[in-house]
Structure formats: structure tokens, C-alpha cells
């Protein structure tokens, strides 16, 4: 079994704290509607937007190390919440055969995400 990892840290100041900012071109380009809805339903949307963006960047970095996955754009990576308070998951094109683990954490001014991906079927080849 081989692993790939990605990590990213973001300033929360880059992201709006109210949904008036949801019409922002950057947000609309990078986040899915579900991601924006999730973040803007939180008390401090900027922290959650920064965390989701860090997760997308970390996921992109981990995917870049996997030879069997075609190149993806960060906008194709989605961070989903599959339950109330469960851990978030990361999805994207070509990830059906990839197991992943995502951790997101934030403070008032920083958000960090760590992604670990692996394949067990022997098709994983590091770049």
C-alpha cells in the first residue's frame, strides 16, 4: 500500500463572513453550491470557507502524486459533509478507487487541512 499526502493552510481573512460575499466570482468558481450553503450556514463562514479551500488545495496536492488519476482542477474537487457532525470527505474525478482521509481545523485567523490518499489494489504509482 502506498500513500500520497497533501497539506494546505489558509488565512481566514481571504474569505467573507456573510452570504453577501457569496456572489463573489472567486467563491462561485471554486466552491460548489453545496459547499457554499454549508459554509454560509455556519456562525463564522470565513473559517469554514478557508477550511474547505485548504482541503481542496490539500486534495489537489495529494492527487497530483497519483499517476493513475488524470489531472484535475481544484474546482473539480468537492468537500462533502455526509452527516451531522461526522468528518468531511473529499471527492473528485478519478477518485472511485482511492481511499482518502481528510482532516480540517481552524482558528479565528487560520485554517489547515491534511489529506491522505491510498489505493490497495496495486494500481497506485507515485509520480
Q: What are phi and psi of 110, to 5 degrees?
A: -135, 150
Question: What single DSSP character describes residue 65?
Answer: T
With residue 26 as reference, give the H or E element that holds it.
helix 25-30
Residues 62, 74 contacting (CB under 8 angstroms): no
109: Cβ–Cβ under 8 A, 6 or more apart, which residues?
Answer: 11, 12, 13
pTM attached to this predicted model? 0.87
**Domains of the chain: residue spans and CATH:** 2-119 (3.90.470.20)
Rounded to the nearest integer, the mean pLDDT of the chain is: 86
pLDDT per residue as tens digits for the range 16-72: 987 764 558 889 899 999 999 999 999 999 999 999 999 999 999 998 888 766 778
Amino acid at each position: 500500500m502506498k500513500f500520497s499526502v497533501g497539506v494546505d493552510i489558509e488565512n481566514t481573512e481571504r474569505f467573507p463572513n456573510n452570504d453577501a460575499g457569496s456572489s463573489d466570482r472567486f467563491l462561485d468558481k471554486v466552491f460548489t453550491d453545496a459547499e457554499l450553503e454549508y459554509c454560509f450556514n455556519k456562525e463564522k463562514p470565513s473559517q469554514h470557507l478557508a477550511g474547505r479551500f485548504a482541503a481542496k488545495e490539500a486534495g489537489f496536492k495529494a492527487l497530483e502524486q497519483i499517476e493513475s488519476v488524470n489531472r484535475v482542477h481544484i474546482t473539480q474537487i468537492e468537500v462533502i459533509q455526509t452527516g451531522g457532525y461526522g468528518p468531511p470527505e473529499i471527492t473528485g474525478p478519478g477518485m472511485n478507487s482511492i481511499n482518502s482521509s481528510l482532516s480540517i481545523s481552524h482558528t479565528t485567523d487560520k485554517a489547515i487541512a491534511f489529506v491522505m490518499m491510498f489505493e490497495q489494489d496495486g494500481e497506485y504509482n507515485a509520480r
